[in-house]
Protein backbone atom coordinates (compact mmCIF):
# COMPACT_ATOMS: atom_id res chain seq x y z
CA UNK A 1 0.00 0.00 0.00
CA UNK A 2 1.12 3.55 -0.77
CA UNK A 3 1.34 6.29 1.84
CA UNK A 4 -0.01 8.77 -0.76
CA UNK A 5 -2.32 11.16 1.09
CA UNK A 6 -4.69 11.26 -1.91
CA UNK A 7 -5.69 7.65 -1.20
CA UNK A 8 -7.49 8.59 2.00
CA UNK A 9 -10.96 9.81 2.95
CA UNK A 10 -11.31 10.22 6.69
CA UNK A 11 -14.45 10.19 8.83
CA UNK A 12 -14.13 11.40 12.42
CA UNK A 13 -16.83 10.62 14.96
CA UNK A 14 -16.95 13.27 17.67
CA UNK A 15 -16.28 17.01 17.28
CA UNK A 16 -14.72 17.65 20.68
CA UNK A 17 -11.13 18.47 21.57
CA UNK A 18 -9.54 15.40 20.01
CA UNK A 19 -11.93 15.20 17.08
CA UNK A 20 -11.09 18.74 16.02
CA UNK A 21 -7.38 18.15 16.66
CA UNK A 22 -7.31 15.09 14.42
CA UNK A 23 -9.42 16.86 11.79
CA UNK A 24 -6.94 19.76 11.69
CA UNK A 25 -4.06 17.30 11.34
CA UNK A 26 -5.70 15.44 8.47
CA UNK A 27 -6.92 18.53 6.61
CA UNK A 28 -3.51 20.15 6.92
CA UNK A 29 -1.98 17.06 5.29
CA UNK A 30 -4.39 17.24 2.37
CA UNK A 31 -6.80 14.50 3.51
CA UNK A 32 -10.55 15.20 3.15
CA UNK A 33 -12.54 14.84 6.37
CA UNK A 34 -16.20 14.34 7.19
CA UNK A 35 -16.66 15.34 10.84
CA UNK A 36 -19.68 13.76 12.51
CA UNK A 37 -21.48 14.75 15.68
CA UNK A 38 -25.08 14.76 16.92
CA UNK A 39 -25.42 18.56 17.09
CA UNK A 40 -25.38 21.06 14.22
CA UNK A 41 -24.39 23.78 16.70
CA UNK A 42 -21.43 21.72 17.91
CA UNK A 43 -20.33 21.14 14.31
CA UNK A 44 -20.57 24.86 13.51
CA UNK A 45 -18.36 25.62 16.49
CA UNK A 46 -16.00 22.81 15.46
CA UNK A 47 -15.49 24.42 12.06
CA UNK A 48 -14.30 27.60 13.75
CA UNK A 49 -12.09 25.66 16.13
CA UNK A 50 -10.50 23.67 13.32
CA UNK A 51 -9.78 26.85 11.37
CA UNK A 52 -7.99 28.26 14.44
CA UNK A 53 -6.01 25.06 14.90
CA UNK A 54 -4.98 25.02 11.25
CA UNK A 55 -3.71 28.58 11.58
CA UNK A 56 -1.78 27.58 14.70
CA UNK A 57 -0.29 24.56 12.93
CA UNK A 58 0.76 26.71 9.98
CA UNK A 59 2.38 29.28 12.25
CA UNK A 60 4.29 26.48 13.98
CA UNK A 61 5.45 25.09 10.62
CA UNK A 62 4.00 21.67 11.37
CA UNK A 63 2.10 21.15 8.09
CA UNK A 64 3.53 20.23 4.69
CA UNK A 65 3.76 23.28 2.46
CA UNK A 66 3.35 21.34 -0.79
CA UNK A 67 -0.17 19.98 -0.23
CA UNK A 68 -3.53 21.63 -0.80
CA UNK A 69 -5.71 21.66 2.29
CA UNK A 70 -8.24 18.83 2.49
CA UNK A 71 -11.97 19.54 2.26
CA UNK A 72 -14.02 19.54 5.47
CA UNK A 73 -17.64 18.39 5.41
CA UNK A 74 -19.89 17.58 8.34
CA UNK A 75 -22.63 15.10 9.16
CA UNK A 76 -25.08 14.25 11.93
CA UNK A 77 -25.06 10.45 11.73
CA UNK A 78 -22.48 7.65 11.59
CA UNK A 79 -24.14 6.75 8.28
CA UNK A 80 -22.33 9.78 6.84
CA UNK A 81 -19.10 7.79 7.20
CA UNK A 82 -20.17 5.15 4.67
CA UNK A 83 -17.73 6.26 1.95
CA UNK A 84 -14.70 6.75 4.18
CA UNK A 85 -11.52 4.70 3.79
CA UNK A 86 -10.80 5.22 7.51
CA UNK A 87 -13.07 5.98 10.45
CA UNK A 88 -11.65 7.45 13.65
CA UNK A 89 -13.87 7.27 16.72
CA UNK A 90 -13.16 10.19 19.09
CA UNK A 91 -16.30 10.37 21.24
CA UNK A 92 -16.36 10.73 25.02
CA UNK A 93 -14.54 8.11 27.12
CA UNK A 94 -17.67 6.26 28.22
CA UNK A 95 -17.76 2.54 27.36
CA UNK A 96 -21.46 2.49 26.47
CA UNK A 97 -21.21 5.51 24.20
CA UNK A 98 -18.19 4.17 22.37
CA UNK A 99 -19.80 0.74 21.94
CA UNK A 100 -22.97 2.26 20.48
CA UNK A 101 -21.13 4.51 18.03
CA UNK A 102 -18.70 1.81 16.92
CA UNK A 103 -21.49 -0.70 16.38
CA UNK A 104 -23.45 1.75 14.23
CA UNK A 105 -20.55 2.89 12.08
CA UNK A 106 -19.07 -0.58 11.56
CA UNK A 107 -22.43 -1.72 10.19
CA UNK A 108 -22.44 0.93 7.42
CA UNK A 109 -18.82 1.07 6.21
CA UNK A 110 -17.50 -1.28 3.57
CA UNK A 111 -15.47 -4.35 4.57
CA UNK A 112 -11.80 -3.39 4.57
CA UNK A 113 -12.42 0.06 6.01
CA UNK A 114 -9.84 0.88 8.66
CA UNK A 115 -11.60 1.44 12.00
CA UNK A 116 -9.61 3.38 14.61
CA UNK A 117 -10.54 4.23 18.17
CA UNK A 118 -8.81 7.19 19.78
CA UNK A 119 -9.59 5.63 23.15
CA UNK A 120 -7.73 7.00 26.15
CA UNK A 121 -8.07 3.99 28.43
CA UNK A 122 -10.76 1.53 27.29
CA UNK A 123 -9.16 -1.68 25.97
CA UNK A 124 -9.49 -2.42 22.26
CA UNK A 125 -10.61 -6.00 22.90
CA UNK A 126 -13.47 -4.67 25.00
CA UNK A 127 -14.68 -2.45 22.15
CA UNK A 128 -14.10 -5.15 19.53
CA UNK A 129 -17.18 -6.96 20.81
CA UNK A 130 -19.30 -4.12 19.39
CA UNK A 131 -18.01 -4.04 15.82
CA UNK A 132 -18.97 -6.13 12.81
CA UNK A 133 -15.38 -7.07 11.91
CA UNK A 134 -13.11 -7.00 14.99
CA UNK A 135 -10.03 -7.67 12.89
CA UNK A 136 -10.38 -4.19 11.35
CA UNK A 137 -10.30 -2.36 14.71
CA UNK A 138 -7.11 -0.81 16.12
CA UNK A 139 -6.38 1.84 18.70
CA UNK A 140 -4.44 5.01 17.90
CA UNK A 141 -3.87 7.32 20.83
CA UNK A 142 -3.15 10.73 19.30
CA UNK A 143 -1.52 13.19 21.67
CA UNK A 144 -2.97 16.65 22.27
CA UNK A 145 -2.52 18.76 20.17
CA UNK A 146 -2.45 16.09 17.46
CA UNK A 147 -1.41 18.53 14.76
CA UNK A 148 1.84 19.35 16.61
CA UNK A 149 2.88 16.12 18.35
CA UNK A 150 4.23 13.62 15.84
CA UNK A 151 4.39 10.50 18.03
CA UNK A 152 1.30 8.34 18.59
CA UNK A 153 0.59 5.20 20.58
CA UNK A 154 -0.79 2.32 18.50
CA UNK A 155 -2.76 -0.32 20.39
CA UNK A 156 -3.09 -3.73 18.80
CA UNK A 157 -5.99 -5.82 20.06
CA UNK A 158 -5.77 -9.60 20.19
CA UNK A 159 -7.96 -9.81 17.07
CA UNK A 160 -6.39 -6.94 15.10
CA UNK A 161 -5.17 -8.31 11.75
CA UNK A 162 -1.80 -7.81 10.09
CA UNK A 163 -3.60 -6.07 7.23
CA UNK A 164 -5.09 -3.58 9.67
CA UNK A 165 -1.67 -2.90 11.17
CA UNK A 166 -0.29 -2.24 7.68
CA UNK A 167 -3.21 0.06 6.89
CA UNK A 168 -2.84 2.12 10.07
CA UNK A 169 0.89 2.48 9.47
CA UNK A 170 0.20 3.72 5.96
CA UNK A 171 -2.35 6.27 7.19
CA UNK A 172 -0.06 7.58 9.90
CA UNK A 173 2.77 7.93 7.40
CA UNK A 174 0.49 10.00 5.14
CA UNK A 175 -0.29 12.20 8.18
CA UNK A 176 3.38 12.61 9.06
CA UNK A 177 3.04 10.69 12.34
CA UNK A 178 5.27 8.03 13.89
CA UNK A 179 3.77 5.25 15.97
CA UNK A 180 4.97 2.82 18.61
CA UNK A 181 2.92 -0.35 19.09
CA UNK A 182 1.80 -1.56 22.52
CA UNK A 183 -0.27 -4.54 23.60
CA UNK A 184 -3.85 -4.02 24.67
CA UNK A 185 -4.42 -3.18 28.35
CA UNK A 186 -6.42 -0.57 30.31
CA UNK A 187 -4.76 2.83 29.76
CA UNK A 188 -2.07 1.25 27.56
CA UNK A 189 1.25 3.00 28.34
CA UNK A 190 0.80 6.78 28.15
CA UNK A 191 -2.36 7.15 30.21
CA UNK A 192 -1.55 4.31 32.60
CA UNK A 193 1.37 6.51 33.61
CA UNK A 194 0.02 10.02 32.99
CA UNK A 195 -3.49 9.89 34.46
CA UNK A 196 -2.48 8.59 37.93
CA UNK A 197 0.28 11.25 37.94
CA UNK A 198 -2.24 14.03 37.27
CA UNK A 199 -4.60 12.57 39.87
CA UNK A 200 -1.79 12.48 42.47
CA UNK A 201 -0.80 16.04 41.62
CA UNK A 202 -4.38 17.20 42.26
CA UNK A 203 -4.42 15.31 45.57
CA UNK A 204 -1.22 17.09 46.66
CA UNK A 205 -2.84 20.45 45.96
CA UNK A 206 -5.97 19.44 47.90
CA UNK A 207 -3.82 18.34 50.87
CA UNK A 208 -2.11 21.74 50.92
CA UNK A 209 1.34 20.30 50.23
CA UNK A 210 1.90 22.73 47.36
CA UNK A 211 0.05 25.09 45.08
CA UNK A 212 -0.93 24.26 41.52
CA UNK A 213 1.89 26.48 40.23
CA UNK A 214 4.50 24.87 42.49
CA UNK A 215 3.50 21.31 41.59
CA UNK A 216 3.71 22.10 37.89
CA UNK A 217 6.91 24.12 38.32
CA UNK A 218 8.67 21.23 40.06
CA UNK A 219 7.66 18.69 37.41
CA UNK A 220 8.79 21.06 34.68
CA UNK A 221 12.03 22.24 36.32
CA UNK A 222 13.17 19.04 38.02
CA UNK A 223 11.88 16.31 35.72
CA UNK A 224 11.88 18.13 32.40
CA UNK A 225 8.13 17.99 31.72
CA UNK A 226 7.34 20.50 28.98
CA UNK A 227 3.95 21.13 30.61
CA UNK A 228 3.16 20.38 34.24
CA UNK A 229 0.53 17.73 35.08
CA UNK A 230 -2.17 20.18 36.14
CA UNK A 231 -1.81 22.43 33.12
CA UNK A 232 -1.91 19.24 31.08
CA UNK A 233 -5.15 18.33 32.85
CA UNK A 234 -6.65 21.64 31.75
CA UNK A 235 -5.58 20.95 28.17
CA UNK A 236 -7.11 17.46 28.16
CA UNK A 237 -10.30 18.50 29.95
CA UNK A 238 -10.83 17.57 33.60
CA UNK A 239 -14.16 15.88 32.84
CA UNK A 240 -12.44 13.69 30.25
CA UNK A 241 -9.77 12.82 32.79
CA UNK A 242 -12.33 11.81 35.38
CA UNK A 243 -14.05 9.54 32.84
CA UNK A 244 -10.71 7.94 31.96
CA UNK A 245 -9.68 7.56 35.61
CA UNK A 246 -12.98 5.81 36.31
CA UNK A 247 -12.27 3.39 33.46
CA UNK A 248 -8.82 2.66 34.86
CA UNK A 249 -10.00 2.29 38.44
CA UNK A 250 -12.83 -0.07 37.49
CA UNK A 251 -10.52 -2.28 35.40
CA UNK A 252 -7.36 -2.28 37.53
CA UNK A 253 -8.44 -1.54 41.10
CA UNK A 254 -5.44 0.80 41.42
CA UNK A 255 -6.27 3.35 44.14
CA UNK A 256 -4.08 5.92 42.37
CA UNK A 257 -6.67 5.86 39.58
CA UNK A 258 -9.65 6.65 41.81
CA UNK A 259 -10.55 10.25 40.88
CA UNK A 260 -9.45 12.66 43.61
CA UNK A 261 -12.05 14.79 45.33
CA UNK A 262 -10.52 17.96 43.87
CA UNK A 263 -10.91 16.59 40.34
CA UNK A 264 -14.54 15.67 41.05
CA UNK A 265 -15.17 19.10 42.56
CA UNK A 266 -13.82 20.79 39.42
CA UNK A 267 -16.21 18.76 37.28
CA UNK A 268 -19.20 19.52 39.52
CA UNK A 269 -18.57 23.27 39.31
CA UNK A 270 -17.96 23.18 35.54
CA UNK A 271 -14.30 24.21 35.76
CA UNK A 272 -13.14 21.76 33.11
CA UNK A 273 -9.98 23.43 31.85
CA UNK A 274 -9.18 25.48 28.77
CA UNK A 275 -12.45 24.67 27.04
CA UNK A 276 -14.46 26.38 29.79
CA UNK A 277 -11.93 29.14 30.51
CA UNK A 278 -11.10 27.85 33.98
CA UNK A 279 -9.76 24.64 35.50
CA UNK A 280 -6.68 24.43 37.69
CA UNK A 281 -5.75 27.74 36.04
CA UNK A 282 -7.91 30.76 35.18
CA UNK A 283 -7.59 31.36 31.43
CA UNK A 284 -9.94 34.33 31.48
CA UNK A 285 -7.22 36.16 33.40
CA UNK A 286 -4.46 34.65 31.27
CA UNK A 287 -2.97 32.56 34.08
pTM for the model stands at 0.91
Residue 181, pLDDT > 90, answer: yes
Residue 287, pLDDT > 60, answer: no
141 assigned to active site = yes
- Predicted confidence at residue 1, as pLDDT, reads 38
Query: How do residues 56-105 score in pLDDT, each as one tens digit?
Result: 999 999 999 889 999 999 999 999 999 999 999 999 999 999 999 999 99
Distance between CA atoms of residues 186 and 133, nearest Å: 21
Maximum alpha-carbon separation in the chain: 55
The burial class, CB within 10 Å (0-12 / 13-18 / 19+), for 216 is buried
Mean pLDDT in residue range 113-142:
97
Query: How do residues 3-35 score in pLDDT, each as one tens digit?
Result: 678 899 999 999 999 999 999 999 999 999 999
Residue 252, pLDDT > 90, answer: yes
Residue 2, pLDDT > 50, answer: no
Residue 206, pLDDT > 90, answer: yes
Percentage of the chain modeled with pLDDT above 70: 98
Q: Residue 180: which H helix or E strand, with range?
A: strand 178-183
Mean pLDDT in residue range 231-251:
96
Provide, for the chain, the percentages of residues in helix, strand and coil under a 3-state DSSP scheme, each rounded to the nearest 5: 50, 15, 35
pLDDT band at 115 (very low <50, low <70, confident <90, very high): very high
Average pLDDT, the chain: 95
Mean pLDDT in residue range 242-258:
97
DSSP letter string over 59-109?
HTT-S-TTSPPPPEEEESSGGGGTT-SEEEE---S-HHHHHHHHHHHHHHS
Domains by residue range for the chain, with CATH: 5-183 (3.40.50.720), 191-276 (1.10.1040.10)
**239 alpha-carbon distance from chain centroid:** 14
From the candidates 8, 141, 195, 225, give the one annotated as an active-site residue: 141
- Predicted confidence at residue 59, as pLDDT, reads 95
pLDDT band at 284 (very low <50, low <70, confident <90, very high): confident
Mean pLDDT in residue range 219-233:
95
| Of 179, 130, 131, the residue nearest 156 (C-alpha) | 179
Amino acid sequence: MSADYTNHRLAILGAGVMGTNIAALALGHGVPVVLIDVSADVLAGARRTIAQKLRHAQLMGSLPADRPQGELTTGLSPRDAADATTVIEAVTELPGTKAEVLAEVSAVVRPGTLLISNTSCIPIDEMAASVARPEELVGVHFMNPAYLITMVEIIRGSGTSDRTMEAVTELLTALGRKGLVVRDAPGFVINRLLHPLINSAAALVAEGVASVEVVDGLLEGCLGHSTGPLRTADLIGIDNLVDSLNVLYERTGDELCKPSELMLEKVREGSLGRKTGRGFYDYARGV
